[in-house]
Structure 1
Amino acid sequence: MTEWISGAARDEAAASFHGAVDRLTTRIPGAYTRRGASGTRLVFTTFPLATLNTVCAGHDLDLGEVERCAQELSQTGAPWSILVRGDVDPTLRRLAGRYGLTGTASLPLLVWDAMPLPSAVSAGATARKVSGAGSEVFAAALAAGFGMSAEVARLLALPTLLDAPGMSGYVLDLDGEAIATGFNVLVGDHVGMFNGSVAPQHRGKGHYRALVTARLQDAVASGARHAFAQTSPMSRPLYESLGFRLAESWTYLMSAD
């Protein structure tokens, strides 16, 4: 159940999420975003991940606008999805079906207001920022944490992202090895928490908590007063233990494959 959070706070978090994605696409060769007159957003990152290439339906659903964006994304050859905040209108689901988007994935949008954070101890490990010069280290840790290919990990670790103003990559080092990752994007007084991962053999030992805490502390020191994150079922309890709350659920209509 969604905890009580004002509609304005939910809208601000959603707008900040989209603002972060807009900023990211300006740093990725070939990527772009566009917003239609009715509020439909088209996001193309070039990455081969359906949740990163989306048609985001506006609050006032305009099926014609959604379809024009869907036609455009469907021609890119990249996996893509239609994103809806909350419940899916049946007519939109039928439109998605015409493009083969018969699968569904739901992700929570969690929000956090700046508050004192508990000390997070990760024995023998140290959190640090990673610049573009360390992109290969960041990519290797991403690949290990997410179980993704090195090729995709390198796209998420582009030096143009790691060196961008208001964007920060992080790793947690243990015995000389980067074992956990995170990526922050500042948008006004919000910070987006992206690309959080920890290598499977290092899970359950407090390492991920230590890195998330360090990232929040760094963001607050940089002026953030709120944070947002879309989490997996595995990481959601950790975020909630640090004070994150469910704002709303987002539905992605995508290929069932």
Structure 2
Amino acid sequence: MTLVDAADTAASAWLGALKLLAGSQRNGYFRQTPGGTAEIVTGAPFPSLNGVAAVTRDPSPDEIAELAASPRLAEVAWTIHVRGDDVEERIVEVAAKHGLTGSMPLPFMIRELTEADAADVPAARRITNADSVAYQRTMAAGFEAPEPLFTIFAEPAVIELPGATGYLLEVDGVPVATSFGLQVGDQVGVFNIATPPAFRRKGYGRLATAAVLSDAYKAGARTAFLHATPDGLPLYQAMGFELAENWTVFAAGA
């Protein structure tokens, strides 16, 4: 499979992961048009987890405009995701009409999994509902943001999603990193890699990521995908992830 084909498959799996997340929430909503554009409402206090996403290589401005006008999006902070750097002007205009006047590139990375990824990560513990407080607290510290923002990720409805695996990485009983995987078919999305400042640059983020890949490979996943932050990009490249493409994200005040 070429990198282009792999990116197409992984992009569809990313959308599938967001569909699962939206479906886990009491007021969540997901609708996908025939052209591959989706309206996503998870209710999470992060704009990137609500909004409109077009995962085809030829996104429809009309479909994006239709979904962007949804009254459901008026209740949440939201974004528009479009694959690629070169975005049609009509899509830019739709985003601006809704106050999404800022745009930023979002690296989309993929990695083929191999038998070597099945190696256990002894320091990583797969979480249960009993670990939700420690998991949420460690994640919030890693992202340097208030704990309540991360409540959704520690809820039983999310932790127990089909294909979901959350992890706490611990050293001498102290949580030092988190990670979360969500498997869709033979693809696994890597999310919520977070290491509190005091524990950074010690390889813990890498181990937390490896824990997701290990269990996912054992469960039948053969490709991993993720969106990388600028700080995380070198880590994922060192782990063998390839930059498949940039996505463009339109957000308010970006």
1:6-29 CA distance string (max 9 Å, x none): 432111010111111111211122
Matched, 1:29 2:26: yes
**Does structure 1 retain, via aligned residues, the 8 Å contact 2:83–2:246?**
yes
Equivalent position amino acid for 2:59 in 1: L
In structure 1, which of residues 227, 231, 245 is the aligned counterpart of residue 228 of structure 2?
Answer: 231
**Does structure 2 retain, via aligned residues, the 8 Å contact 1:39–1:60?**
no
Number of aligned residues:
251
Q: Which residue of structure 2 aligns with residue 41 of structure 1?
A: 38
Change (3 A) 1:37 1:165: closer
> What root-mean-square deviation, in Å, do the aligned CA atoms of Structure 1 and Structure 2 show?
2.1
Q: Which residue of structure 1 aligns with residue 157 of structure 2?
A: 160
Q: Which residue of structure 2 aligns with residue 98 of structure 1?
A: 97
Question: Normalising by structure 1, what TM-score?
Answer: 0.91
Q: SS where residue 249 of structure 1 aligns?
A: strand
Change (3 A) 1:119 1:240: farther
Matched, 1:17 2:40: no
Deviates more, 1:182-191 or 1:23-32: 23-32
Change (3 A) 1:223 1:117: closer
Q: Which residue of structure 1 aligns with residue 176 of structure 2?
A: 179
Identity %: 35
Matched, 1:67 2:65: yes
| Rounded Cα–Cα distance in structure 2 between residues aligned with 1:209 and 1:39 | 33
Equivalent position amino acid for 1:83 in 2: H
In structure 1, which of residues 205, 225, 231 is the aligned counterpart of residue 202 of structure 2?
Answer: 205
Q: Which residue of structure 2 aligns with residue 221 of structure 1?
A: 218
Q: Residue 182 of structure 1: CA displacement?
A: 0.5
| Structure 2 residue ranges without an equivalent (≥5) | none
Q: Residue 220 of structure 1: CA displacement?
A: 0.8
| Rounded Cα–Cα distance in structure 2 between residues aligned with 1:45 and 1:113 | 29
In structure 2, which of residues 51, 57, 79 is the aligned counterpart of residue 81 of structure 1?
Answer: 79
Q: Which residue of structure 1 aligns with residue 147 of structure 2?
A: 150
Equivalent position amino acid for 1:246 in 2: L
1:168-220 CA distance string (max 9 Å, x none): 11011123221210000111111110111100110011111122122211211
**Does structure 2 retain, via aligned residues, the 8 Å contact 1:189–1:224?**
yes
| Rounded Cα–Cα distance in structure 1 between residues aligned with 2:236 and 2:118 | 13
| Structure 1 residue ranges without an equivalent (≥5) | none
Equivalent position amino acid for 2:220 in 1: G
| Rounded Cα–Cα distance in structure 1 between residues aligned with 2:231 and 2:69 | 34
Change (3 A) 1:61 1:233: closer
Equivalent position amino acid for 2:74 in 1: T
**Does structure 2 retain, via aligned residues, the 8 Å contact 1:25–1:32?**
yes
Q: Residue 35 of structure 1: CA displacement?
A: 0.6
Q: Which residue of structure 1 aligns with residue 240 of structure 2?
A: 243
Question: Normalising by structure 2, what TM-score?
Answer: 0.92
**Does structure 2 retain, via aligned residues, the 8 Å contact 1:74–1:80?**
no
1:115-135 CA distance string (max 9 Å, x none): 3359899xxx82100012221
Q: SS where residue 51 of structure 2 aligns?
A: strand
| Rounded Cα–Cα distance in structure 1 between residues aligned with 2:195 and 2:218 | 24
Deviates more, 1:169-178 or 1:13-22: 169-178
